[in-house]
Amino acid sequence: MEVKRRTVRSLVAKLGSVSDQTRAEALAELRLISKHDADIRPVISDAGAIPYLAEILYSTSYPAQENAAATLLNLSITSRDALMSTRGLLDAISHALRHHSSSTSPDAVQSCAATLHSLLIVDSYRPIIGSKRDIIHSLIEIVKSRNSPPRSVKDALKALFGIALYPLNRHQVIELGAVQPLFSLIVNEGRVGIVEDASAVVAQIAGCEESVDEFKKVSGVGVLVDLLDMGTGSSDRVRENAVSALLNLVRFGGEKAGKDVREMGLKVMDGSADVAENGSAKGKTKAVGLLKVLLEGNSLNKMFSGDNDDDDDDDYDDNDNDNDNESFEVSES
C-alpha cells in the first residue's frame, strides 16, 4: 500500500505540471487505477486529486474532461464525503452539465450525471444538491434534448430521482419544467428502461401540492392510468411506478386530485387491483392504498394520518428486472 501511495502522490503532483502531455498521462492513469482498485480511491482523494479533477471539467479537451469526470465518478463510490467537501466541485459538475450540447463531451456529461446519482445516495446531500437550481435545470435540459445519448438521459433521470427523494426539492424540479419532458419520454420513448426511469421520477415529484396543476397540463392522470392498462404492454416496474404516482398525487393533492383519479373509472380500478394482487410487496401496499381512495372517495386526511412516508424509500434499481431492490448500484467508468 505504501508503494501505491507514493505512486498516487506522484500522479497527483503531475496534474499540476506545465506539460500538457504529462498532465494527460497522469490523468489517464488515475482513471485506470481508480476503476480497477477500490482500495486506491481514498488514497487518491487524500492526495488532493479532487480539486484538480474538478478544475479539469472546465477544460476544452474532450479526453481530459472524460478522464476527469470518470475518475470523479469512480471516487464517488467510496469517497463521497471527500467530493462533497471539496469547494467548487458541484459548480464544476454544473458547468459540465450546462454545456452538454456544446463544449462538454457526451461521455463527460454521462459521468457527471452518474456522479450526482452516486452522491445522492447519501440522504444529507439531497438538500444540498437540490439547492443548486442550475444543476436541476441542466439535468432537465439533458432529458429534454433529442440529441442526448440514451445513457446520459438515464443517468440524468437517476440524478433527478435522487434529488426528488428529498420532499422539499420536488417543487423545484416541477418549477424548473420537468413535468412535460418526463411525460413526453413516457409517452414517446420506446426503450423500456428509460420509460421505467422517467416514471420513477414522476412518481416522486407527484408527492407535492404543485404536481396537481402541472400534471393536469399534460393530461398526466390519463397517461398514468393508461400505463396501468395491461393492454399497453407496460412493464411491471412502470405499472408500479404509475400506482405510486397516482397515490402520491391524491395524497398531496387532496380531494381535487382524488376526484380526477376516480373519474378514470374502471381502468384505474382494474389496473390497481392487478398490481395489488401480482405486484412486488411495496407495489401491493401502494396499490391497496390507491384502491381505498378510489372505493371510499373521502377522508383522505384521515386515511393518511400517521403515515409520514413521503415515498422516500422508493427503490430505484439499475436492474430493469428487479422491482424490489432497496438500493441502486453505481458502475465504475
pLDDT digits over 58-114, tens only? 999 999 999 999 999 999 999 999 999 999 999 999 999 999 999 999 999 999 999
pLDDT digits over 124-169, tens only? 999 999 999 999 999 999 999 999 999 999 999 999 999 999 999 9
pLDDT digits over 180-200, tens only? 999 999 999 878 899 999 999
Q: What is the dihedral of CA 225, 226, 229, 233, to 10 degrees?
A: -140
- The burial of 173, by beta-carbon neighbours within 10 Å (0-12 exposed, 13-18 middle, 19 or more buried), is given as buried
- Given pLDDT bands bounded at 50, 70 and 90, which one contains residue 329? low
Give yes or no for residue 211 having a pLDDT over 50: yes
Dist. CA 73–CA 117, nearest whole Å: 9
Query: How much of the chain, in percent, has pLDDT values that exceed 70?
Result: 89
Give yes or no for residue 311 having a pLDDT over 50: no
pTM for the complete prediction? 0.89
Q: What's the whole-number mean pLDDT along residues 273-286? A: 94
- Select from 204, 218, 214 the least CA-distant residue to 247: 204
- Give the pLDDT confidence score for residue 264 in this predicted structure: 84
Q: Which residues are within 8 A (CB) of 302 and not within 5 positions of it... i.e. 6 or more apart?
A: none
- Give the pLDDT confidence score for residue 73 in this predicted structure: 98
- Given pLDDT bands bounded at 50, 70 and 90, which one contains residue 1? confident
- Select from 212, 198, 203 the least CA-distant residue to 243: 203
Dist. CA 167–CA 89, nearest whole Å: 24
Highest mean pLDDT among 11-25, 281-295, 305-319: 11-25
211, 247 in Cβ contact below 8 A? no
- Give the pLDDT confidence score for residue 49 in this predicted structure: 97
Kindly report each contact of residues 84-92 with a partner whose C-beta sits within 8 Å and lies 24 or more positions away, as own/partner: 84/119, 84/122, 84/125, 84/128, 86/50, 86/51, 86/54, 87/51, 88/51, 88/54, 89/50, 89/54, 90/128, 90/129, 90/132, 90/135, 92/54, 92/55, 92/57, 92/58
What does the mean pLDDT of the chain come to? Answer: 89
Note the helical H segments in 206-306. Answer: 211-217, 220-228, 236-262, 266-278, 281-296, 300-304
- Given pLDDT bands bounded at 50, 70 and 90, which one contains residue 297? low
